[in-house]
Amino acid sequence: MAILKAICTSSGRQQPKTEVETAVFVSGGIEGDSHKSFTEREVSLLREEDVKRAALEAGFDFPPGALAENLVVEGLPDELPIGGTLAIGDSVELEILEKGKKPGEPHSYDYRGYCLLPTVGYFLRV
């Protein structure tokens, strides 16, 4: 069973996300997050295992949200099926849209030189 480790939001694009205790998932994304209704990629997810691997390589920890992710989840498989769904509790269902970003597609945020969403991140729709 996977465990939701962090939910993170930001009020402005290209700003670091910060961990929040609770969140309201609505059509378009997470209420109060700068990416809500911005693109089809409403929610971003990193597996905690990938964040820990990057932290070992970097020699420093990544606070929740530092890599621009909305969700950090522990215990997910290495590969998630595109078109599949993930549930948070009984009321939130997220469709898996894509893994990473297309080659050459720009990304605008990194933390101390690290950016995981373009390679191992998942983008979801509420």
Q: What is the pLDDT of residue 35?
A: 79
Average pLDDT over every residue of 109-114: 75
The fold for domain 3-125 equals M1 Pyruvate Kinase; Domain 3 (2.40.33)
Q: What is the pTM of this model?
A: 0.91
Confidence band for 50, pLDDT divided at 50, 70 and 90: very high
Q: Please count the other Cβ atoms lying within 10 Å of the Cβ belonging to residue 62.
A: 19
Average pLDDT over every residue of 42-66: 96
- Distance, C-alpha 43 to centroid of its chain: 6
Q: What is the pLDDT of residue 103?
A: 62
User: Which residue matches tokens 């549930």?
Assistant: 87
Confidence band for 105, pLDDT divided at 50, 70 and 90: low
Nearest to 113 by CA among 44, 66, 53: 66
Q: φ, ψ for residue 113 (rounded to 5)?
A: 90, 0
